[in-house]
Structure 1
Amino acid sequence: MSLLGVDLGAARTRIYARRRGIVLDEPSAVVRDARTGRIVSYGAETGDDGHETCRPVSGGLPADDELTRLLVRHFLRRVHRRPFARPRLVMAVPEHATAIDRAALREVAYEAEARGLLLVPHGLAAALGAGVPVGDGAGWMVIDIGRDAARVAVLSHGAVVAAGTVPVGGRALTLAVARLVEREHGLLLDEDEVEAVKREHGPPDRQVLVRGRDAETGRERAASLPVRLVREATRQPVETIAQAAVDTVERCPPELVADLGERGAVLVGGGALLRGLDRWLRVALRMPVRRAERPVESVALGLGRCVEDQDLVNRLKAVAP
């Protein structure tokens, strides 16, 4: 049986194949001709000048059904080694997804030539990939900071007990830093440069060297930015994420709240790479907070565990939406 785990993220799509691990990790992007609408390229092949880059996935769900189906079908054809055997897919579904949302994911899978689909709650997939022992009765929290949303899930007995979502993710953190640099130094930074700044760490008075394009002249130049300002710029989105976690905890039974105070939360997703985020959330939530060993790949690795362990897949069917 051919079984693939597909982590359909707003920023990137990752596919996990049995015994092969993560075999695809590319941007969830489609490039098309702005004039004719013709598809030019997908994923890592994007970036052609003069064309429109579309991101058809938002919050783990199709924002543009047709483009998402084309994107997933393209990726599956690249990694699936058996052209005459349609694969079964394991995909993560956000806890807040409606019946219509789940139907859209199933349509994406079937249009991409899959012969079956198992939907696993997103928080459960993230926890599995982060190494959280979700099968026991203790309470655990996972905070996944994706490109355009942060998702919080509290798990116990292999199921999601409480969940929350806010439309603030890694992109909000990136924009906050980019606006800071433009305001303070008149520099326009590309996304890679902002990501490097977000991951810098050290004492508040430490200076970070940034390179960008002058907003007035268009010429490239450098400027020094205190780490303190980066932290201040990202404070508001971080506080929004922290409040979502607090609200989720408040919906949990008292015994799970006590567990969380002892075991705490695990950070996953690209936004988890923001330096100092674990410490900020630790103070805000008053519980232990740690970053997963491979935060960016946690959901894909969790789906991979389902792909590798058929018994685990069967057990999860009872809790899959």
Structure 2
Amino acid sequence: MDLGAAGTRIYVKRKGIVLDEPSAVARDAVTGRVLGYGAEAVRDGFGETCWPISGGLPADGELTRRLVRHFLRKVHRNPFARPRVVMALPEDATPIDRAALRDMAFEAEARGILLVPHGLAAALGAGVPVRDCAGRMVIDIGRDAARIAVLSRGAVVASGAVPCGGHTMSLSIARLVEHEHGLLIDEREAEAAKRRAGTEWKPLQRQVVVRGRDVESGRERAATLPVQLIYEATRQPVETIVRAAVGIVERCPAELAADLGEQGAVLVGGGALLRGLCRRLRAALCMPVQRAERPLVSVALGLGHCVDDLGLIAKLRAAAR
């Protein structure tokens, strides 16, 4: 189970990814009663939408437990099923975070839980040859954070995270649209504008249409947004991720840093689809940077490798010694 801030994905042995839904819970704004989970929780007019997961960990333990239990029952279609669960653990998680994640899984009726380092799961899902001695970098840009890990010999040797992800980029776009066009757009519309802009660097002369509320009149109207404007709006969040990646490279031993200059980095996560991001990171880090073939589900696929071979993590730890 890839428990992401934006979406949760579940991989089942011999079946692949069987669930991919928003990590959202809809509640009645007055009574607090839960109205829906996942995809139905983000429908317009369906109560107050809550996002109980942050940084791969429960921000609201009770809502996360109920969300996970709902997804597990939806997958197994049996209220008495108690599956074994493999989950990703952020490298900066504390022992308290680890215990909270385990407790949440057991309370959600899991029979057992295996925690896999997040960077290792992302690398496995992206097809990175993690058993190699050569150092490789994985950058996972999620909804609320960007996680960076350097791997060698099947282990994470350096890692870091910055609270700067797809949500920050969407807010930057919304602020720029308000400043340039006098139009208020919500996060969902800003996210849609990013998707409509596409993932390739060129052509920058393309335009996308956004809809929002006029600042002065309060009426709904549309505005044409040049793709170049989206590029400019996300400049600061991208520079924050670049500085974090540079800092992690500087902490690596010289031989690993040299490896990174040749082997480069792989981008995963929803933020990896941002237009021109590979090009910008490639220029700033002076190393090859490429997007994973399936960036949105890379962590889930990596956890799936561990589900298919429950001894894989033990084998990688033995190889790293």
Give the conservation status (yes or no) of the 8 Å contact 2:184–2:214: yes
1:305 paired with 2:302, answer: no
Alignment map for 1:1-321 (pairs within 5 Å): 6-46=1-41, 47=43, 49=45, 51-81=47-77, 83-199=79-195, 200=197, 201-315=201-315
CA RMSD of the aligned region, Å? 1.9
Distance across 2 between alignment mates of 1:74 and 1:258: 46
Query: Taking every aligned residue pair, what percent have the same amino acid on both sides?
Result: 74
Q: Give the C-alpha shift of residue 218 in structure 1.
A: 3.8
Distance across 2 between alignment mates of 1:21 and 1:151: 25
For residues 15 and 317 of structure 1, do their structure 2 counterparts lie closer, same or farther at Cα, with a shift above 3 Å needed? farther
Q: Give the C-alpha shift of residue 60 in structure 1.
A: 0.3
Q: Give the C-alpha shift of residue 192 in structure 1.
A: 4.3
Distance across 1 between alignment mates of 2:318 and 2:165: 30
Give the conservation status (yes or no) of the 8 Å contact 1:62–1:105: yes
Unmatched 5+ stretches in structure 1: 1-5
Q: TM-score, normalised by structure 2?
A: 0.92
Q: Give the C-alpha shift of residue 84 in structure 1.
A: 4.2
Q: Give the C-alpha shift of residue 55 in structure 1.
A: 1.0
For the residue of structure 1 that corresponds to 2:311, the secondary structure is helix
- Which amino acid letter does the alignment assign opposite residue 283 of structure 2? V
For the residue of structure 2 that corresponds to 1:143, the secondary structure is strand
Distance across 2 between alignment mates of 1:102 and 1:50: 33
- Which amino acid letter does the alignment assign opposite residue 118 of structure 2? H
Q: Deviations over 1:179-222 (max 9, x none)?
A: 11111112223444323432425344444333333233343333
Distance across 2 between alignment mates of 1:67 and 1:318: 37
Q: Give the C-alpha shift of residue 303 in structure 1.
A: 0.5
Q: Give the C-alpha shift of residue 227 in structure 1.
A: 2.5
Matched residue pairs, number? 314
Give the conservation status (yes or no) of the 8 Å contact 2:154–2:317: no
For the residue of structure 2 that corresponds to 1:216, the secondary structure is coil
For the residue of structure 1 that corresponds to 2:171, the secondary structure is helix
Distance across 2 between alignment mates of 1:218 and 1:183: 15
Give the conservation status (yes or no) of the 8 Å contact 1:207–1:224: yes
- Which amino acid letter does the alignment assign opposite residue 25 of structure 1? D
- Which amino acid letter does the alignment assign opposite residue 261 of structure 2? G
Q: TM-score, normalised by structure 1?
A: 0.92
Give the conservation status (yes or no) of the 8 Å contact 1:120–1:316: no
For residues 53 and 246 of structure 1, do their structure 2 counterparts lie closer, same or farther at Cα, with a shift above 3 Å needed? same
Give the conservation status (yes or no) of the 8 Å contact 2:270–2:296: yes
| Cross-structure match for 1:3 | none
Give the conservation status (yes or no) of the 8 Å contact 1:307–1:313: no
- Which amino acid letter does the alignment assign opposite residue 22 of structure 1? I
Q: Deviations over 1:127-181 (max 9, x none)?
A: 0110000011111100000000000000001100000100000000111111111
Q: Deviations over 1:8-65 (max 9, x none)?
A: 0111111110111111111111112222222211111213637322111000001111
Give the conservation status (yes or no) of the 8 Å contact 1:212–1:220: yes
For the residue of structure 2 that corresponds to 1:141, the secondary structure is strand
Extract structure 1 runs of 4+ deviating beyond 6 A.
none
